[in-house]
Structure formats: C-alpha cells, structure tokens
C-alpha cells in the first residue's frame, strides 16, 4: 500500500507562526530560551563541564603533571599502575599520567586549529555558492562532491605521507578536507535567507555583496555553524589520533594521545595499561564534544539535521 504525504504539511509553516502557538519558557527564543533548553539536557551540561575541564587541564599541564613527561626511568620500564604512577609507566619508564596530561595540549589544539581552518574554508565557500548561485555554485558543489567521494581518511593519509609526516601537515590537510559539512549547511541557509525582503532592502540601499553576506546573512547561520564546529572537533580529534597512531602525525619527541598508543601497541600483550589510558582520554574528549554538540543542536535549533 502506498501512502501519499502532503509536501506542504505543518512542517512548512513559517517559523514565527509556530512560535506564537507555543508560549512556555522552554520554547522562548533568544539566549534565555536556548539556555533553558540546553540545561534540560543533563548529559550536555555534564559534557560542557567536561570540555571546560579538559581545556583547563591542557592549559595547566605544567602545573598538573606530577612528573616530567619525557623523563626516562629505565629501571621502572613497563611498571604497572601504582600510587606513585596512577596510570603506570611506559617502555622507557616515563609517567603515563603526565604524558596523557601533556598530550591533551596537542590533541586539543589540533582539534581547534584544524577545526577552525575547515570552518573558515567551508563557510566562505558555502556563502559564495549560496549567494551567487549559478556557475559559482556549480563549481564549488562539484569540488565538494569530489571531497565527499574520496574517503577522507585515505586522502589525508596519502597527502600527509607525500608531504612528509608532521603535525602541521596533518592539521592543514585535515582542515582542507573537512569543510564539506559547513559548506553545505551555510549554502542552504544563505539560499534561504537571500530571498527575504530585508536582503533586497539592503541591496536597494547599495550595500556591497561582502557586507550583505557577512553582516546580513551569515549571522543567521551562526547556530548550525556552532553545532557543526563542536561535532567537527570531535571527528578531527579521532582522525588525528588515528593517523598519529599509524605513524603519520606527530613525530617523536612530540607526543599526542595517538602516539602514546602507537608506542604502547608493541607492548599490548605485556603492558596493556600504556594503551588503556590515552585511549580513554581520547574517548572521553570525543564523547564530551559529541554530547555537547547534540545538546547545542537540540537547544538552539531542534529542527536542524546534521
């Protein structure tokens, strides 16, 4: 049996009409309403606190780390977790807790730097495609299509390997290959907004395109951008740690969570604790960003789909 769906059903009602129908505080607009909705998400609030704590940990690494992360203690190699070394010691006798704390600096900065790069590229390309349409849109969306089709992991790993494995190369390549989602979201939003009357008014007043795009259109796309950025940081951190694990990211002596795991892999049968804790750190960080992104989406724009 086939069922016909009316395309023009309630979901297409103008947003402001729905707003008038629902009046309780949790559907209020603006910062207050969003914050009320976000607070309802217990997990999202917890994860936001987690993200803040992680940032604090990265900033305060020199104070928090109990030992010098690079100090070798050959006599204590592969030592199991103890009171003095809660996460144990690695194959050179280095304190893993200190290494995990210091590693958070690199992993989080990669998340933010590569994430910001993809955000800028994606927002600019998406805005151009949405605003100008026509061949500009066609060219940009074709390029986006190419980057969606080539498995990102393979592309990043191949380009980084060709350029020479390093953290900087890794960040740049990740940033330049993960702008797709932003471009699509921003493009859709820009196309929707540029038809509104106030944009026509701005054009009639003689605003140039740059001002219209950045001052009048893009502020409307801030919500999906924030949500995407949060989720994007999570995926960048996983990508970075996977590539570093395979040897294509940070090179020693620089250490990230991925590289501690890479070193621990050799000793997985004898000393699994080396790999356990940095992995937990990655998982906790990624989970926090993911949950926070989900919470933000539900709070700021429940109808958004990512």
Partner 1 sequence: MKKFILQRFFLALLTLLGITIIVFSLMHLAPGDPVTTIAGRETDPKIVAAIREEWGFDQPVVIQYFTWLSKALRGDFGMSFINRMNVVELIGTRLPYTLKLNLVASVIGLAIAFPVGIIAAVKKYSLFDYISTFLALLSQSMPSFWLSLMMISFFTARLGLLPSSGSETWKHYIMPATVLGTTWAAGLTRMIRSSMMEVLTEDYVRTARAKGLKESVVVYRHALRNAMVPIATSLAYWIAYLVTGSVIVEVIFALPGIGRLMISSLNNRDYFVVQAVILLTSSAVLVANLAVDVLYVVIDPRIRYD
Cβ 6 to partner 1, closest distance in Å?
Answer: 8
Cis peptide bond prior to 253, omega within 30° of 0? yes
DSSP letters spanning 215-280 = IIIGGGGHHHHHHHHHHHHHHHHHHHHHHHHTTSSPPTTS--HHHHHHHHHTTTTT-THHHHHHHH
Among 84-92, 114-122, 141-149, 207-215, the segment contacting partner 1 (CB under 8 A): 141-149
Minimal distance, residue 10 CB to partner 1, in Å: 9
Nearer to partner 1 by C-beta: 203 or 242?
A: 242
By CB under 8 A, residue 4 contacts partner 1: yes
Is 279 a binding residue for partner 1 by CB under 8 A? The answer is: yes
Please check whether residue 163 is in contact with residue 217, taking contact to mean a CB–CB distance below 8 angstroms: no
Binding residues among 155-174 for partner 1 as defined by CB under 8 A:
155, 157-159, 161-164
Say how many residues touch partner 1, by CB under 8 A: 50
Shortest gap between Cβ of 30 and partner 1 (angstroms)? 26
Nearest to 290 by CA among 37, 35, 40, 44: 44
Length of the chain measured in residues: 306
Buried b (16+ CB within 10 A) or exposed e, 83-99: eebebbbbbebbbbbbb
**Any contact of residue 44 with partner 1 (CB under 8 A)?**
no
Is residue 56 near partner 1 by the rule CB under 8 A?
no
Residue 276 binds partner 1 (CB under 8 A): yes
Distance CA 88, CA 275 (A): 10
Secondary element (H or E) of residue 37: helix 30-40
What residues make contact with partner 1 under the rule CB under 8 A?
Answer: 1-5, 7, 9, 142-143, 145-146, 149-155, 157-159, 161-164, 234, 238, 241-242, 245-248, 261, 264-265, 268-270, 272, 275-276, 279, 282-283, 286-287, 290-291, 294
């Amino acid at each position: 049996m086939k069922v016909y769906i009316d395309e023009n059903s309630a979901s297409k009602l103008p947003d402001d009409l729905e707003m008038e129908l629902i009046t309780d505080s949790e559907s209020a607009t603006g910062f207050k309403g969003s914050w009320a909705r976000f607070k309802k998400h217990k997990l999202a609030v917890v994860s936001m606190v987690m993200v803040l704590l992680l940032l604090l940990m990265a900033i305060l690494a020199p104070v928090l780390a109990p030992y010098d992360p690079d100090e070798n203690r050959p006599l204590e190699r592969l030592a199991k977790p103890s009171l003095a070394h809660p996460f144990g010691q690695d194959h050179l006798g280095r304190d893993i807790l200190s290494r995990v704390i210091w590693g958070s600096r690199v992993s989080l900065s990669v998340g933010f730097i590569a994430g910001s790069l993809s955000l800028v590229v994606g927002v600019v390309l998406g805005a151009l495609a949405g605003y100008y349409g026509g061949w500009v849109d066609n060219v940009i969306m074709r390029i986006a299509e190419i980057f969606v089709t080539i498995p990102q992991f393979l592309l990043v790993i191949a380009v980084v390997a060709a350029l020479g494995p390093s953290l900087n190369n890794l960040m740049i390549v990740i940033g330049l290959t993960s702008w797709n989602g932003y471009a699509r979201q921003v493009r859709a939003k820009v196309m929707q907004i540029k038809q509104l009357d106030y944009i026509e008014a701005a054009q009639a007043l003689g605003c140039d395109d740059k001002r219209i795009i950045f001052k009048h259109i893009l502020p409307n796309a801030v919500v999906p951008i924030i949500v995407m950025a949060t989720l994007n940081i999570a995926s960048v951190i996983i990508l970075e740690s996977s590539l570093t694990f395979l040897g294509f990211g940070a090179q020693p002596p620089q250490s990230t969570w991925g590289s501690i795991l890479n070193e621990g892999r050799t000793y997985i049968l004898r000393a699994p604790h080396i790999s356990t804790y940095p992995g937990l750190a990655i998982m906790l960080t990624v989970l926090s960003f993911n949950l926070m992104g989900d919470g933000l989406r539900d709070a700021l724009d429940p109808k958004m789909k990512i």
